Amino acid sequence: MEGGTTTTKRIRLSKTLEEMLSANLIDGFQKAFDIKYPHGTMLYPDNLFGQPQIDNIINNFGTFDGKAGLSKIIGGRFIPGQIDILNTVINDFTTGPLANEEALKINTKAASREDAKAQKLSEKQAQREQKSREKDQERAAIQEAKRVEAEKGEARTCIEVVRGKEQKWQLRTLIRR
């Protein structure tokens, strides 16, 4: 992260990651403070680096790059090694917990996309099956209608045959008289 002082995209951290970064920054600064003042001093660590500076880092996370950008965001006075340690803490955080959360978000989005695709495929399959059932029912209804028509035709034929025989019988009877 050496180089320019600003980038364009702010990274919004979850509450858990904010708390984790805050604790890591405090620990990192405490190490730098203890190195500079091993026997103590009249100053307290949070007089030089406290919650306002941490909030600036969190609120501008991703918009600064390297030590120069970090020192610009923090502002104020620094003790020797402070920027180096804080920059290391931020780099470790970016490649550790933040990267893990980003990977988790990406995996979650990919999984939800896959679930959505699977849901769409399932819905399409259900629609195809429904259309197939409807077509099968339609074919069955058509076949049943044809069967009924065929039976009606056979019944008419039988009736006509019986009528024909009856008429012949009646004609024979009339002719004999």
pLDDT of residue 107: 67
Determine the Cα–Cα distance for residues 49 and 64; give it in Å rounded to an integer: 18
Q: Which ranges of the chain have pLDDT less than 50?
A: 1-5
Question: Alpha carbon of 106 to those of 11, 110, 144: distances in Å?
Answer: 15, 6, 56
CB 53 within 8 A of CB 76: yes
- CA 31 to CA 79: how far, in whole Å? 11
Give the distance, in angstroms, between the CA of residue 163 and the centroid of all CA atoms in the same chain. Answer: 77
pTM to 2 decimals?
Answer: 0.49
15 C-beta neighbours (distance < 10 Å), count: 7
Residues 73-113: tens digit of each pLDDT: 887 777 777 788 888 888 888 787 666 666 666 667 777 88
Question: What is the SS3 assignment for 96?
Answer: coil
Q: Are 72 and 5 in contact (CB under 8 A)?
A: yes
**Closest CA relative to residue 69, chosen from 81, 86, 52:** 86
Burial class (CB in 10 A: 0-12, 13-18, 19+), 137: exposed
Six token digits for residue 115: 């679930």
Residue-level pLDDT at 4: 47
Q: Specify the pLDDT at position 135.
A: 94
